[in-house]
Structure 1
Amino acid sequence: MTSGRAGDQVDRPGIRGVPPRVLVLTAAVTLTALIAAVVGLTLPAGLPVDDPLPPPARYAIAVAVLALAQLARLRFRAAAGMVSISWGEAALIICLYLVPAGWLPSATLLGAGLAWTVLSLVGERRPTLEIVRIAASLAAASALAVSVTTALGRPMLAAPTPALAGALVAGSVTYLLVTAWLGGVTLGLRHGVPIGPPLLAALRGKWLMFVGNVAVGLLVVVLLEIDPRWLLLLPPPLWLLQQTYRHRLRVGQERRTWRAFADATAALNQLDERGVATAAVTGALTLFQAELVEVDVARGDGRWRRYRGDPAGGLVDREIAEPAAAEPDEHELVRPLTVGAVPVGRLRVRFPRSAPPGGRERDALAAFGEALAAALHDAATHRELRLVTARSSYEAVHDPLTGLVNRVALLSKGDQALRQLAHDHPVALLLLDIDQFREVNDTLGHAAGDQLLRLTANRLGALARNGDLLARLGGDEFALLLTSVPVIGDRTAPMAYALRQAREIAERLAAPTEVAGVRMSVEVSVGVVVADAGTADLTELLRRADIAMYQAKEGGGSVAPYDSTRDAASTDQLALLAELREALTVDDQLVLALQPAVDLTTGAPTGVEALIRWRHPRRGWLSPVDFIRPVENSEQLGTFTRYVLDKALRVAADWARAGLDIPISVNLSARSLLDPRLPVEIAEALRRHKVPPHRLVLEITETVVMSELEVIDEVLATLRSMGVQLAVDDFGTGFSSLTFLTRIAVDELKVDRSFVIRMVDSPEAAAIVRTTVGLAHELGLRVVAEGVETAEQRSALAELGCTAAQGYHFFKPMPADKIGAVLGTLLDEARPNVFPLRADGAS
C-alpha cells in the first residue's frame, strides 16, 4: 500500500518543492531498506542441494512476482492524495515460499522500483525521489514482515500446515500495517494534516483486498506444493477478483463523494459572504481531496475578495484585483460562478499531482459551483437587504436633519431607561423650544433655519452627559432626559439640580454664533419636570415638560419647573387605573403581604392582616399609598375588593387544611360598604373557599362607622349576623372615637401606629393608648396595637394592659408561601394561654 504524491508546495523549501520532513523520512526509509537488503543477501540461503532451479532464477521469479503485484494496483482518492493498494500480501506469501526469506527486501526494492518506474513512464510522471521512497517503503515493510514470519516458522519450500499459514498471515498483517502507516505519515508530513484520516481511509479500502490477497497467496502455495500446473487455472479467477475489488472501491468512493457533496452544499446555507466562502473552501477540500481551494468573490461595488484554504486547516482572505482569465493546468479546475448573466465569483480547485481531475471531478465541480454561486448571490442579496433594513430602521428612529433620535425613539428608549432604574430614583426631562425660530425661517430662509437646528443639536450634544438621552421632537423642539440625577435625602434637591442644568444649557446655547452670514444669539425656553422613575412614563413626562415650557414662555424667563397646580389634565391616574384593570386579570401582579399579630403574653398568633402590594411590571413595587385612593374613586373598587378578598380567603383555606385556626383581616374601603350586594358576595366567597365566617375579620375606619347612611348600617349588621368579625382600624384618629362604639357592634380595636410610636415619649399618646385598652376591656373587645417597632414599645404596651400587637418588631409583612411555617412555629412555641377569637368579656 502506497501514498501518492500530493503535488508541489512552492511555499515550502525542499528538493523540487518536497517538504524537508518528507525528505528526512525518505532518507531514513531508504537507508533502512538498503541495510535490510544487504543483510538479507549475506544470510545463508538454505536452498536444497538438488534444487532444480538455480538461485538466480528463483531470485528473478521473486522480482517478477513482486513487480507484477505492484503493476496490478488499484487507486482511490484519500485525504490530500491518491492511495494505491496492490497484491503485495499475496506476492509476499508466494515469495516467502519460493525464495530464502533474506532475499525478499532486495527483491522487493528491485521489483517495486522497476514496477513504479514503468508506471511513471507509461502514465503518471513521478520524480525519481518519489519512486525511491515508494520502493524503499515497500522493502522496509517486507523486511519487517519477513522477520515476523520467520520468527514463527520457516516457509521456504515447506509443506503447508496450519502453523505455517498462521506465520504467513502474521507476516502479511505486519506488511499491511507498516505500508499503511508509512503512507499516512508521508501524507501527514507533506500537507501538515493528521495521519489518522488517510491511514483509516487506506485500511478501510484495503481490508477486503487484504483478505483476498492472503487467500490467494496461500492458495498458490498449496498449488505449488501439489502440482504447479494448477496455476494455469488461476488467471481468470484472479482477473474477476481484481474487477470485484475495483468495483467495490468505485462504489465506496462514489458513496463517500455524494455524502461529502451533500454535506458541502448543505454547509453553504449561510447568510453572510464570509460564512458561505469559508464553508465552500472547507467543503471543496473534503469533497475533492484537494491540496488547494480558492474562492474569489465579486462584490457589488466592483471589489474582489479571495478566500484560500489548504488541507492543513489554514484559511486566509484578502482583497485582490479582478482575477485575470488564465488557462488552468492539468492538475486544477477553474469554474466561473454566475447567476444568470451576473458574475458572482470564481472557484479554483487544485488537485494533487498524483490524482489529476477526471470527468467525475469535473461534473462534481460543476454542480458544486452552481450551488456555491447561488449561495453567494443569496448572501449578497441578504447583505443588501440588511443594509436597507438598517438604513430604514435608522431613519425610522432618527431625525434626518440633525441625526438625533426622534420622538418615537425617545419614547421607546426613555421608557426602557426608566424601567432599568430603581422605582424611586429621580429623573429629569428638559424640553427646549427655540425662541423666534419662525422669524429666522421667514427672514433668512429655510436653509438658515436648518443650519440653526443643526447648530443647536451639536451644542446640545456637547453638553449632554453620558447616560443622557437627547432627541429632536420636531420643528424647533428638543428634549433631554437626565437619568443621572443625584440621589440626596432632600426631596427638593433633584429639581434644583435639573434647574441648574437647564439654566446652564440655556446660557451655553445663547453664546453668539453665525447663521447664514448673520451673527445671532440662540435663546430657548426650557420646561423642566422631575419625577421618580417608577411613577410616570415618557409620554406623561413630555406632557408635563410641555406645560412647564409654556409656563417659561409666559413668565418671560428662559427656564420654568413643572407646577402641578397649573396642570388640570394629569393622565397619570388614568394610566394607573388602566394598568390596574390589566393587573386584575392576571395572578402575579397584585400580591398579598401578610403580617401576623401576636399575643404579648404567650407569643401565640392572634390574627394575620392581609396587606396588598402591586408588583408593577414598569413602576416596580407599589404600596397601597400609591394606588388605593385612585381605586377608591373609580368604578374598579368592587372588582378590586373581590380580588383581594378572594386571595385572602384562599390563603385562609390553606391554613385550615394545615390545621391553623387563625383569622385573617382584610381592610375594607368606605365606598365598599355602600354596596348592598357586598354581604352576599362575601358569603359566596366564604362558601367557595370553605372558610368559616368567624375566620374573616373586616377592618373598617372610624369615618365609615360614623356615617349616618342607612345602607352602611344594614351592610355592617348583615355581615355581623353572618358571623364575620369587624375591627376598627386606626382607632383614636377619628372625630368621635369614644361615641361610635355605641352604634356599631365590633370585635376588635386597632390602636393607630401614630400613638404607639410616640407613647414612650409622649404622655398624651400613652394616655390615649391606656384609655383605648381600658375601653376595650370594659366593652369585651380585643385590642391590637399597630406599628410596634421596638422592645421598649412592646414593654410599654404590656404595662398598659394591651394583650396583642403587630409591627416590624415582631414580623415584617411576608409572602403567603412563607407565613404558614411562621404561624405553625408560633403556635408550637406559645404557652397554653390562648384567648378566644371573639372575646366574651375579656381581651
Structure 2
Amino acid sequence: MTASREGTAGAGRTLVLTLIVLAAALSAAVVGLVTPADAPPAGPLSPLSRLGIAAGVMAVAQLARLRLRVASGLVSVTWGEAALIIGLYLAPAGWLPAATFVGAGLAWLLLSFFSDRRTPIEILHVTASLTVAVALATTVTTAFGDPFRQPLSPALAGALALGALVYLLVTGWLAALTLSLRHGRPIGALLLRALRGKLLMFVGNVLVGLVVIAMLDRDPRWLLLLPPALWLLQQTYGHRLRAEDERRLWQSFAGATKELNQLDERAVATAGVAGALTLFGAERVDVEVLRPDGGRRRYRGDGVSALEETDLPADAAPDTADDGDEVEVRPLAVGGVPVGDLRVRFARPIGPDADARDQMALSAFSDALASALHDAATHRQLQIMTERARYEAVHDQLTKLANRAALLMKGDVALRRLDRDTPVALLLLDLDHFKEVNDTLGHAAGDDLLRASAARLDALTHSGELLARLDGDEFALLVTGLDDGESPMPQALRRARRIVEDLAAPTEIAGVTMSVEVSVGVVVAAAGTADMAELVRRAENAMYQAKTGGDSVAWYDSAKDEASTDRLALLAELREALEVDDQLVLALQPAVNLSTGAPTGVEALIRWRHPRRGPLSPVDFVRVIEGSDLLGPFTRYVVDKALTVAAEWASHGMDVPISVNLSARSLLDPRLPADIAERLRRYRVPAHRLVLEITETVVLSELEIIDEVLGALRDLGVQLSVDDFGTGFSSLTFLTRIAVDELKVDRSFVRKMADSPEAAAIVRTTVGLGRELGLRVVAEGVETADQRAALAALGCSAAQGYHFFKPMPAEKIVAVLRSLLDSAQAQVFPLRADGAS
C-alpha cells in the first residue's frame, strides 16, 4: 500500500519522511546487491535477467493498482504481496530490494505520466517505501527459509505468507504515517482503515503468489491459464472496494446531513464544515453565510485547528486567492434565493475529470446545507418577530414603557407577592393641555412631548416600582415600597407633588420652550384589598377630581365615588348568591358542525337572576368579580355547575364537551389545576370533556405562573380554547408557547366578513391555521344563513350563534343535543335549527 498525493498541509514533514525512507531503501538495495547469494545454480537465466524479471513482476504489480479512500487521502492497493512471493522465488532475496526500487520506480513514473502527475519527490517517496517494505519482508522470510528456486512446501509457504504479512504491515504503516503527517490525523485510525480495506486482497495475493510458484515449479505453461483468472480477481477486488467506498460515503453523507438538522446558524455552519471535511477528504472548508445587512459571515475549518469565524463586509471581494484545480465553489441557494457559498479545498486536483460520484455528493450536500442555513435564518427571523411581538404586547410603542395590559398583569403579580396589609400607592398622571399641543404644533410634537415626559418619569422611578403609559397622555406609577414609619397617604402625596414639580421644568418641543403641567390622582390601599384594575379605576377617579378641583394633585375619596357603594353592595349580594342554588344559573349554547350538524360542544354562560335588580348578564357583574377576592369561589361555582350538566349528559350516552370561560386572574392561582382535577373526579367527568376558554388578556402575558398553570391543566387532559381569536396581534405568539385544542373566531369578523375582504381574509387565515395545526375552529356570533354559507365555503368546521340556537336553560339542552345527534346520524342537517331566532 502507498499513500497518494492528497494534500500539501504537511509537505515539509512528508519530505523528511521521504528522505529517511529513501536512505533506508537505497541502503537495502545496495547491500543486497553486493552480498553474495547462497543459492542454487541460477539455471539458464543470467543474474541480470533474473533481476530484470523480478523488477518486471514488481512493476506489473504496481501498475495493476486499485485505490482505497482513507480519511483525507487515497491509498493505492496493489498486488505487492503476490509480486513479493513470486520475486523471492525468481531471484535471490538480497536482490529483491533493488528489483523493487527499479520496477516500482518505473511503474510510478508511468502512472505519474499517464494519470497522477506526481512530483519526483512523491515518486521517490512511494518507491522508497515499497523498497523498505520488501527489504524487511525478505529478511523475515529468509529467516525461516530461502525460497529462491525451492519447491513449495508447507514450511516454505508459511515463511512466504509471513513475509507477505510483514510487507502488508510495513506498507500500511508507512502509508498511514504519510497521511498522518500531511493531514494531522491519528495514525492508528488511518492504519486500521487501510488494513481493513486491504485484508481480502491480501489473502488473495498470498494465494496467487503461492499458486504461481507451484506452476513455475511444475510446468511454466500452466501460467497461460492465469490472466483470465487474475483479471476476474482484479474486478472482484475493485468491485468490493468500490462497494465499500460507496457504503462508507453514503453512510457518512447520511450522518453529515443529519447533523445539519439544527436551527442555529453557527451550529449548521459548523456541521457543514465538519461534514464536508469528512465526506470529501477536504483540506479546508469555508461556509460563507449571507447576513441580512448584505455582509457575510465566514466559517472556516481544516479539521485540525479550531473553527475560525470571520465577519466580512458587504463590499468585500470573494476570497479567490487559493482557488484552483483543488478548490470547488458551490453557491448555496433555496428557491433561487442565495444564502451563501460553500468553498471546498480538496486534497487532490478535481478539475473536469473529477469523480462523478463526488460531484453528485457535493451537489447534494450543498443543497442540504443551503436548506439548513435557510431554515436557520427563517427560524432566527421568526424568533426576532416573536420577541418583537412579545415586547410590543406589553410595551407602549411610542415611549417603550409598560402598557396598560402589562400594568394590570404585572401589578397584580406584585400585589400578590406582598402581605395582605402592606400599603401600596398608585399615581395616575394626565398631561394638561396636551390636545392644544397636538392642535398647534402637530402630532409629531405631541409624540415628542410624550417621549420627553416618559423619559423624565422613568428617571424619577425607583427600583421595584412599575411605570406605564396607559392611553393617550395618561401615565401610571405603582409604588410598593412605602416607608412603614410614616402614614402612607402623605408619602404618596409628597411623591406626586415632587413629580409635578420635576415635570414642570421647561423643555423644548418643536423649537418651543414649554412647561409640562399634569394632574395626578393618588390612591393608597392595602395590597390584599383590591386588584390593579380597581386601583386604576380609583386613581382615574382621583385624577378627574384633581382636574375639576383646580389642584394638580388629588387623592381618592370613596365618598365621592358613586360606583364604590354600589359595587360593594353588588359584591355582598354575590356572596349570598354563591350560597344558594337558584340565582346563578347556566345558559347553554351549542356549537354545531357545519358539515354534519352534529354538536361539537356546548358553551356554558352564567346568568344572575337577581331577586331585586332583575336578570343580570355577565357584563353587569363579572368585571366586578374579577377585581375582588370572590373570583376563586365564583370560578369554582361555575365549574361545578358545568360538570353537573356534563355528568347528566353522560347518563344519556352523549359525549359532548362543555366549555367554561376563565378569567385571566384565575390563571395566576397555582391551585387551579388541583381544584379542577378534584372536581373532575367528584363528578366522574373525563377531563377531555371539559374545555376551558381563555382570552387575549392571557395571550398578552409572559408570566411564568400562567404558563405553568396552563401546562398543568394540559397535563390533566383538559382542553384549552382561545376565545375571540384574531382580535389581538399576539395570538400567534401565544400558540407557540401553549398547545391549545380550539380557536374561536371573534364575532366581529363573522359579522363583517360578507362586506369586508379584510375580515373574510382573517377568518380564512384562522381556518387554514387551525387546519394546519390540527385545531378545531369555531365561528362565534353566526346570525344569518348567508354567514353560515360563507363560513362553510371558507372551510370552517363549526359555528355557534343565534342562527342555530340561542343560549338555553340546562333542562332543555338534552333534547336539543339528542335531536342534533339523531339528525347527524341520519345525515339530515336543517338550514335553521329549532330555537334559532
TM-score for the superposition, normalised by structure 1: 0.63
Counterpart in the other structure of 1:400: 397
AA aligned opposite 1:348:
R
- Residues 1:545 and 1:200: Cα distance change in structure 2 (over 3 Å): farther
| 2:318 aligned partner | 323
Distance 1:188 1:345 in 2: 32
Report if the CA contact (8 A) 1:430-1:527 is conserved: yes
* Displacement of 1:402: 1.6
1:433 is aligned to 2:430: yes
Q: CA 1:193 to 1:476, structure 2 compared with 1: closer, same or farther past 3 Å?
A: same
Structure 2 SS opposite 1:525: strand
Change in CA separation of 1:539 and 1:83 when aligned onto 2, cut-off 3 Å? farther
Residue 347 of structure 1 is aligned with which of 324, 336, 342?
Answer: 342
Letter of the 1:347 counterpart? L
**Which amino acid is 1:454 matched to?**
R
Map of 1:513-532 to 2, 5 A cutoff? 513-529=507-523
1:577 is matched with which residue: 630, 633, 636? 630
* 8 Å CA contact retained: 1:36, 1:105: yes
The answer (yes or no) to whether the contact 2:402–2:469 under 8 Å persists in 1 is yes
Change (3 A) 1:578 1:329: same
Q: Is the 8 A contact 1:419 1:619 kept in 2?
A: no
1:539 matched to which residue of 2? 533
Query: Residues 381-780 of structure 1 correspond to what in structure 2 (within 5 A)?
Result: 381-417=378-414, 428-482=425-479, 485=481, 488=484, 490=485, 492=486, 498-529=492-523, 536-553=530-547, 557-560=551-554, 562=556, 567-568=564-565, 569=567, 575-582=628-635, 618=668
> Would the alpha carbon gap of residues 574 and 360 (structure 1) be closer, same or farther in structure 2, given more than 3 Å must change?
closer
Q: 1:178 to 1:519 in 2, by over 3 A?
A: same
SS of the equivalent of 1:290 reads coil
1:106 aligns with 2:103: no
Partner Cα distance (2:287, 2:461) in 1? 48
Task: Give 3-state SS (helix, strand or coil) of 2:630's partner.
Answer: helix
Residues 247 and 471 (structure 1), Cα distance of their counterparts in 2 relative to 1, 3 Å cut: same
Q: CA RMSD in A?
A: 3.7
Whichever residue aligns with residue 19 of structure 2, its letter is A
Q: CA 1:353–1:423 in structure 2 vs 1: closer, same or farther (change >3 Å)?
A: farther
Contact 1:428 1:530 in 2 (8 A): yes
Cα distance between partner residues in 1 of 2:423 and 2:183: 66
Contact 1:80 1:311 in 2 (8 A): no
Partner of 2:818: none
For residue 504 of structure 2, what is the amino acid of its counterpart?
A: A
Deviation, 1:406, is 1.4
For the 8 Å contact 2:21–2:129, the answer to whether it is kept is yes
Question: Structure 2 CA distance, aligned partners of 1:355 and 1:108?
Answer: 31
CA 1:326–1:8: 2 relative to 1, 3 Å: closer
Alpha-carbon separation, structure 2, partners of 1:77 and 1:341: 35
1:182 pairs with 2:156: no
- The verdict on how the C-alpha distance between 1:572 and 1:88 changes in structure 2, with shifts beyond 3 A counting, is same
Aligned match of 2:72: 80
Contact 1:333 1:362 in 2 (8 A): no
d(CA) in 2 for partners of 1:374 and 1:364? 15
Matched, 1:127 2:119: yes
CA–CA distance in structure 2, aligned partners of residues 420 and 31 of structure 1:
84
Pairwise CA distance, 1:78: 2.8
Query: 1:173 and 1:550, CA in 2 relative to 1: closer, same or farther beyond 3 A?
Result: farther
> How has the CA–CA distance of structure 1 residues 355 and 61 changed in structure 2, closer, same or farther, with 3 Å as cutoff?
farther
Could you tell me which residue of structure 1 aligns to residue 331 of structure 2? 336
Letter in structure 1 aligned against 2:399: T
Check conservation: 1:535, 1:619, Cα contact below 8 A: no
Contact 1:410 1:469 in 2 (8 A): yes
1:443 and 1:358 map into 2 onto residues whose CA distance is: 77
1:612-640 Cα shifts (integer Å, max 9, x gaps): xxxx9857999xxxxxxxxxxxxxxxx9x
Is the contact between residue 544 and residue 562 of structure 1 (CA under 8 Å) also seen in structure 2? yes
Aligned equivalents of 2:95, 2:422: Cα separation in 1: 96
What is the count of residue pairs matched by the alignment? 589
Counterpart CA distance in 1 for 2:530 and 2:161 is 89
What are the Cα deviations for residues 22-70 of structure 1, in whole angstroms up to 9, with x where unaligned? Answer: 2222223223333333444444421124644333333222222222111
The equivalent residue for 2:246 is 254
Partners of 1:394 and 1:69 lie apart in 2 by: 74
1:374-394 Cα distance to aligned partner (Å, 9 max, x none): 444444444444444444443
In structure 2, the residue matched to 1:71 is: 63
Q: Does 1:302 align with 2:294?
A: yes
SS across alignment from 1:297: strand
| Map of 2:363 onto structure 1 | 366
Contact 1:529 / 1:548 at 8 angstroms: preserved in 2?
Answer: yes
Alignment gaps of 5+ in structure 1: 10-17, 588-615, 623-638, 647-843
Q: Structure 1 residues 303, 617: CA separation in 2 closer, same or farther (over 3 Å shift)?
A: closer
Deviation of 1:127 (Å): 1.0
Q: Which amino acid aligns with 1:336?
A: P
| Alignment check: 8 A CA contact 2:625 2:631 kept | no
Q: 1:325 to 1:187 in 2, by over 3 A?
A: closer
Per the alignment, in what secondary structure is the counterpart of residue 533 of structure 2? helix
What residue number does 1:8 align with?
8
Separation in structure 2 between the aligned mates of residue 110 and residue 119 of structure 1, nearest angstrom: 14
Contact (CA 8 Å) 1:419, 1:618: kept in 2 or not?
A: no
| Matched residue, 2:268 | 276
Letter in 1 for 2:629: L
Which structure: larger Rg?
A: 1
Change (3 A) 1:49 1:449: closer
* Deviation for aligned residue 1:434: 2.0
CA distance in 2 between counterparts of 1:229 and 1:123 reads 34
Alpha-carbon displacement from aligned partner over 1:568-604 (angstroms, at most 9, x marks no partner): 44658963222135568999xxxxxxxxxxxxxxxxx
Is the alpha carbon distance of 1:184 and 1:526 closer, same or farther for their aligned partners in structure 2, counting shifts above 3 Å?
Answer: farther
1:163 and 2:155 aligned: yes
Q: 1:145–1:172: 8 Å Cα contact kept in structure 2?
A: yes
Amino acid at match of 1:37: A
Q: Distance in 1 between matches of 2:483 and 2:668?
A: 20
> Equivalents in 1 of 2:108, 2:39: separation in Å?
30
Q: Report the TM-score, using the length of structure 2 for normalisation.
A: 0.63
Query: SS at the partner of 2:285?
Result: strand
- Percentage identity across paired residues of the two chains: 60
Q: Give the match for residue 618 of structure 2.
A: none
Per-residue CA deviations over 1:402-427 (Å, capped at 9, x if unaligned) read: 22221123333444555666777765
SS of equivalent residue, structure 2 residue 51:
helix
Counterparts of 2:377 and 2:170, CA distance in 1: 50
CA distance in 2, matches of 1:158, 1:150: 12
Take 2:187 and 2:524, find their aligned partners in 1: how far apart are those partners? Answer: 72
Instruction: For 1:410 and 1:203, locate their aligned partners in 2 and report how far apart those are by CA, in whole Å.
Output: 72
Q: What is the CA–CA distance in structure 2 between the aligned matches of 1:129 and 1:40, rounded to whole Å? A: 24
Distance (Å, rounded) in 2 between the aligned partners of 1:49 and 1:112: 27
Cα distance change of structure 1 residues 619 and 373 upon mapping to structure 2, 3 Å threshold: closer
1:312 has 2:304 as partner:
yes
CA distance in 1, matches of 2:670, 2:265: 45
Cα offsets for 1:715-741 (capped at 9, x unmatched): xxxxxxxxxxxxxxxxxxxxxxxxxxx
Q: Please give the alpha-carbon distance, in whole angstroms, between the structure 2 residues aligned to 1:340 and 1:574.
A: 54
1:227 is the counterpart of 2:224 = no
SS in 2 for 1:348: strand
Partner of 2:788: none
Which residue does the alignment assign to 1:211? 203
Q: Distance in 2 between matches of 1:500 and 1:43?
A: 114
Deviations 1:262-317 (A, max 9, x none): 33333333334444333333222222222233333344543344333323364334
